[in-house]
Amino acid sequence: MTTEPRHPHLLKMTDPPTIVGHRCVACERVAFPPDPYGCEKCGSPASTFEQWDLQARGSVQAVATVHRHHRSTPVTPFTVGVIGLVGGPVVKAIVEGDGVVVGSTVEGFLAPDEQDDDGNVIVDLHFRVVE
Amino acid sequence: MNAPNLLSDRPVFVVGIGLHRYQRRSDATYVSLGLTAVREALGDAGIEWTDVEAAYTGTALLGMGASRIMLSRLGATGIPMTQVENASASGSSSVAQACLEVASGRSDVVVALGVDKPRGGLGAAPGEAGIDNLEGGSVVPFTHFALLASEYMNLHEVTDDQVAKVAVKNHRNGSQNPFAQRQKVRTLEEVLTEPISGSLTRLQCCPVGEGAAAVIIVSEDGINRLQIDRSRAIQVVASATKTEGLYGEGVGIDAALTAETGVAAFEEAGLGPLDLDVLEVHDAFAIEELLYAEALGLCQPGEAASRIESGDFDIGGSCAFSPSGGLLAMGHPIGPTGVGQIAEVVRQLRGEAGTRQQPDARVGMAHMVGIGAVCVVHILRQP
């Protein structure tokens, strides 16, 4: 059995995890998620991008607790945050634990979500308040 | 390149409006929904189907080939029919194409129709683009807007009650609209029950049902040739469409896109936000009315909630927001929604809106946004 991120191209399983974005060499725009097609700022093809590691740490810009959801997972209620990463891009992700408010500093961790047919554990990047 | 102002060079008018009530999914076929709206619009204009030279059908959910099997039941006249898909703004874009067709001189009489029936899901293409993200499926549209609400309410110190009052107002307006899916007056206490996501409750989220709306777009030549009642013709003075640009990290794309599109429409019309008497706004979620009121320049950033509380955006206020009930109460059947907005603005500018009439309404706007993101704005006025 192994532990695998749901989207291996978005995460490195470091401690804490590292988010993988891209940087356009032509215009220096850093973006997440990494784009397989081209740069929204200057139009350069993705073949000219370089991988860009982003620290899974940032500040909560908005937060919402979801009470009704169309799928069985995540189990409601769960909380989603808009997180401005210290490296620039903004991501949306589940934030666990109490006390998350706009302005909270949060850090990413790997949260087990489900097991595949072979018993491998699939993990997602969630965040929690650290300050 | 500066685009020519076609709507100024060859004016276009809405002379007929028709709707099938927005409602929960039923056994009615989309054909019967659409034909109801088109027949009513033709009757309202006082013209025959054989007078119509082209048709645009706005729909996002029906699938390909929806137009002819429906409209040929009015007579298979062989006119060009084009299906328009632009997410929630599909109907708005069918109106935009009809206006362009008439303004260009290609046709004098065109019908713009919106019709849809809900299916299992939206089938939105961006989810198939092969661009994964961290949130997976946890951020559906109502949570996207709940997050925008969180950001806005924190920045401007706005309360849950203040946002909910948008829904109280729009449900009150919808209660007076026989075409609205939701026709009940709701108290603030009722609106605040049944949380969905963040501060948004069920009654602060639009219902997605079925329905149809149609408008007849004509030229001056068409009015004269068909002897259409000029006193009920409402002029379209701006038709602006934009897609999302890059606005910087953390900037609300929906409001920024609306601001850009609104500026383009006001410039085309030679009007400003304070000229608006009526505004049908994309209030799919209550927070949006606050965001777009400010983005369109009807008030300063952070002012919208207090303006709504003061009654300034009620029917009878300085500008009536969503007198139809808006997406929150009239409903959001997707394809018809943008066309239905035009129908409501026309009804208001004709002075034919009955108990929900905005007094002395002379200028109105219809505003839609859609997944993508796209934004379509029309401005209409009494000629």
Sequence ranges of the domains in chain B:
6-119+208-234, 139-201+238-381
For residue B153, give the amino acid letter. M
Q: Does the pLDDT value for residue B30 go beyond 90? A: yes
B370 band by pLDDT with thresholds 50, 70 and 90: very high
In this prediction, residues B165-174 reach a mean pLDDT of 98
CB contact under 8 A, A62 and B246: no
Instruction: Report the pLDDT value the prediction gives residue B326, as an integer from 0 to 100.
Output: 98
**Out of A41, A67, A92, closest to residue B246 by CB:** A41
Contact residues, chain A to chain B, C-beta under 8 Å: 6-7, 9-10, 19, 33, 35-36, 40-41, 61-71, 74, 78, 80-82, 84, 88-94, 102, 124-125
B127 band by pLDDT with thresholds 50, 70 and 90: confident
Instruction: Report the pLDDT value the prediction gives residue A56, as an integer from 0 to 100.
Output: 96
Q: Does the pLDDT value for residue A87 go beyond 90? A: no
Q: Give B176-223 pLDDT, tens digit per residue.
A: 999 999 999 999 999 999 999 999 999 999 999 999 999 999 999 999
Instruction: Report the pLDDT value the prediction gives residue B250, as an integer from 0 to 100.
Output: 63
CATH class for the domain made up of B6-119+208-234: alpha beta
- The Cα–Cα gap between B152 and B167 comes to 17
Instruction: Report the pLDDT value the prediction gives residue A74, as an integer from 0 to 100.
Output: 85
Instruction: Report the pLDDT value the prediction gives residue B2, as an integer from 0 to 100.
Output: 58
Q: pTM here? A: 0.96
CB contact under 8 A, A64 and B146: yes
CB contact under 8 A, A80 and B154: no
- How, if at all, do strands B12-23 and B210-219 pair? antiparallel
Confirm whether B6-119+208-234 and B139-201+238-381 share one CATH topology: yes
Nearest chain B Cα distance for residue A103, angstroms: 10
Instruction: Report the pLDDT value the prediction gives residue A6, as an integer from 0 to 100.
Output: 84
**Percent of all residues in chain B with a pLDDT value above 70, rounded to a whole number:** 97
Q: Does the pLDDT value for residue B1 go beyond 60? A: no
For residue B338, give the amino acid letter. G
Residues whose CB falls within 8 Å of the CB of residue B250, separated by 6 or more in sequence, listed in order: A61, A82, A84, A90
Contact residues, chain B to chain A, C-beta under 8 Å: 130-140, 143, 146-151, 154, 195-199, 246, 249-250
CB contact under 8 A, B134 and A61: no
- The Cα–Cα gap between B172 and B272 comes to 28
In this prediction, residues B124-129 reach a mean pLDDT of 77
B136 band by pLDDT with thresholds 50, 70 and 90: confident
Instruction: Look up residue B332 and give its two tokens.
Output: 């959001």
A119 band by pLDDT with thresholds 50, 70 and 90: confident
**CATH superfamily for domain B139-201+238-381:** Thiolase/Chalcone synthase (3.40.47.10)
- The Cα–Cα gap between B69 and B67 comes to 6
CB contact under 8 A, B151 and A62: yes
Q: Give B280-313 pLDDT, tens digit per residue.
A: 999 999 999 999 999 999 999 999 999 999 999 9
Instruction: Report the pLDDT value the prediction gives residue A122, as an integer from 0 to 100.
Output: 87
Which residue in B has a C-alpha nearest to residue A11's C-alpha? B134
Of B36, B45, B49, the residue nearest B17 (C-alpha): B45
Mean pLDDT of chain B: 95
Instruction: Tell me the DSSP string of B16-81.
Output: EEEEEEEES--S--HHHHHHHHHHHHHHHHT--GGG--EEEEE-SSS-S--HHHHHGGG------E
- The Cα–Cα gap between A92 and A61 comes to 10
**Percent of all residues in chain A with a pLDDT value above 90, rounded to a whole number:** 70
Instruction: Look up residue B253 and give its two tokens.
Output: 């794309």
For residue B245, give the amino acid letter. G
- The Cα–Cα gap between B54 and B40 comes to 17
Strand locations in chain B (E): 12-23, 54-58, 81-84, 109-116, 195-197, 200-201, 210-219, 234-243, 278-280, 320-321, 363-370, 374-381
Mean pLDDT of chain A: 91
Nearest chain A Cα distance for residue B157, angstroms: 12
Instruction: Report the pLDDT value the prediction gives residue B128, as an integer from 0 to 100.
Output: 79
CB contact under 8 A, A33 and B132: yes
- The Cα–Cα gap between B285 and B289 comes to 8
- The Cα–Cα gap between B252 and B42 comes to 41
Instruction: Report the pLDDT value the prediction gives residue B267, as an integer from 0 to 100.
Output: 97
In this prediction, residues A76-91 reach a mean pLDDT of 93
CB contact under 8 A, B150 and A92: no
Nearest chain B Cα distance for residue A40, angstroms: 8
- The Cα–Cα gap between B66 and A10 comes to 40
Instruction: Report the pLDDT value the prediction gives residue B16, as an integer from 0 to 100.
Output: 98
Residue B78 φ/ψ region, left for φ over 0, alpha for ψ in the -120 to 50 degree band, beta for the rest:
left
Instruction: Report the pLDDT value the prediction gives residue B4, as an integer from 0 to 100.
Output: 67
Instruction: Report the pLDDT value the prediction gives residue B237, as an integer from 0 to 100.
Output: 98
Instruction: Report the pLDDT value the prediction gives residue A120, as an integer from 0 to 100.
Output: 86
Q: Which of A69, A113, A122, A123 to mutate to test the interface with B (most CBs of B within 10 A)?
A: A69
Q: Give A1-55 pLDDT, tens digit per residue.
A: 788 888 888 999 998 899 999 999 999 999 999 999 999 999 999 999 999 999 9
**Out of B131, B196, B249, closest to residue A89 by CB:** B249
